[in-house]
Amino acid sequence: QVQLQESGPGVVKPSETLFLTCSVSGNSVASDYWSWIRQSPGKGLEWIGYISLTGNANYNPSLWGRVTISRDTSQNQFSLKLTSVTPADTAVYYCARGKATPGPWGQGTLVRVSS
Amino acid sequence: DIHMTQSPSSLSASIGDRVTITCQASQGIVSSLNWHQVKPGKAPKIIISGASHLEPGVPSRFSGRGGGTHFTFTISSLQPEDIATYYCQQSDNLPPTFGGGTRVE
């Protein structure tokens, strides 16, 4: 049974970099696609991007230039880096297995952008 | 990006009621449509993939149908544990996009 758990700081200052990690159990990050998705307060869900089983990444054009998704196969984790954050990046960030059909998902972690 | 329009945005129903949610895509997506259940503080859960395929372990009271641009999601007999927000999501084109959600209460 695949399980995912997000971790990272709960607060990030404006203009700084947000870094989150997703720890995976029950499957290898090298054998599937893995995605990041977020939900801003009171808003809908937004797909951020994915990393493939070969290590290539694809991102939502709305975040292009600010986002990087990478993986560490030795730790069986994948990560999200989002630069130059603003209050608009305040959201619950989820990791999930899959490229365009996410599931299962992690529980999510709330990240607030605030000084 | 493909825009997904979901309705209603919220609905109130009684236990045992039949609940139906609709989702419309801005362009044809064949049957590349998923439904997700989101509860506060819990991991979202994919309920249906490919418009009508019930995910393993999901009760048979959930169903989905449709194709092209118009899709429906039905709970045949609402149970207390089904109180949640439901989102449709297209997987036909990148980036994947979600509907605005339907809060079932």
The reply to whether A103 touches chain B by the CB within 8 Å rule is: yes
pLDDT at site B80? 96
Is B37 in contact with B45 (CB distance < 8 Å)? yes
| Euclidean distance between CA atoms A88 and B99, whole angstroms | 20
| Euclidean distance between CA atoms A90 and A100, whole angstroms | 23
| Euclidean distance between CA atoms A68 and A50, whole angstroms | 9
Q: Is the pLDDT of residue A42 over 80?
A: no
pLDDT at site A44? 86
* Nearest CB to A45 within list B46, B49, B87: B87
Find, in chain B, the residue whose alpha carbon is nearest to that of A50. Answer: B95
The percentage of chain B sitting over the pLDDT mark of 70, rounded to a whole number, equals: 100
- Residues in A closer than 8 angstroms to B44, CB to CB, are 94, 96, 102, 105, 108
The percentage of chain A sitting over the pLDDT mark of 90, rounded to a whole number, equals: 93
Mean pLDDT score across all residues of chain A? 95
Q: Is the pLDDT of residue B42 over 90?
A: yes
